[in-house]
Structure 1
């Protein structure tokens, strides 16, 4: 299946690793809380895409077998198909975070907080809700 990108909800212990997107009018979802991930580069699989983005955005390297809950979702900005994954890391793994040059800041947030925020990306809230229901 053709796709344009992938996202991963990274759990560190019981909390989610999230980033506050930059507040620029020219990007989708400015100043919204987001998961690691982004656009596909030529020839990448969904797993390769999301793991590269996780490394670029948060400095974390994971083996592909740590990605779980693979699902497909439709996006509006840009219009198309993307993949959603989850990964579970132990408490303390946040010590390895090296925040990249995109976004304002990162934090650990409970799933409940992410799901309740009006400034979190709605379709990622939906993906997370479905993932949590399947656990």
Structure 2
């Protein structure tokens, strides 16, 4: 059995029963192009997932994580996903989107239907498969 060689650290950022998600750029060469996903990114060589998470969230939205806990580990054929949960203690106006097409606070209903409208894209866009699976698991355990 082949194990994924890539590893990412991603965050479920929650605020008032909503979840901050990134609408990924619509570039065909990236994973889940044009889909909603969780913020985070690849681990650098010998970098622990917790350090990668803090670095990636700061790089992508300028948010210093106040605290976070490990939610789980998910794997598909290519990537091992280290998933963490953290509170989002600021409004969207305090965040700077440095990576991605759009960002938004998705509700449990958005996640359950697997898609959400983006004003930037001007249309309803789907959640990426693995991100949808993770969020469905999270919601089922936290509601």
The TM-score, its normalising length taken from structure 2, stands at 0.79
Aligned length, in residue pairs: 128
What does 1:88-103 correspond to in 2, within 5 Å?
Answer: 88-90=87-89, 92-100=90-98, 102-103=99-100
Cα distance, 1:114 vs structure 2: 2.4
Runs of 5+ in structure 1 lacking a partner? none
Q: Look up the match of 1:36.
A: 39
Runs of 5+ in structure 2 lacking a partner? 116-125
Higher relative contact order (CA 8 A, sep 6+): 1
Question: Please, what is the CA RMSD of the aligned residues?
Answer: 1.9
Q: In the superposition, relative to structure 1, how do residues 80 and 108 fare at CA in structure 2: closer, same or farther (>3 Å)?
A: closer
The TM-score, its normalising length taken from structure 1, stands at 0.83
Q: Does 1:25 align with 2:23?
A: no
CA contact (8 A) 2:111 2:135 kept: no
Cα distance, 1:35 vs structure 2: 0.9
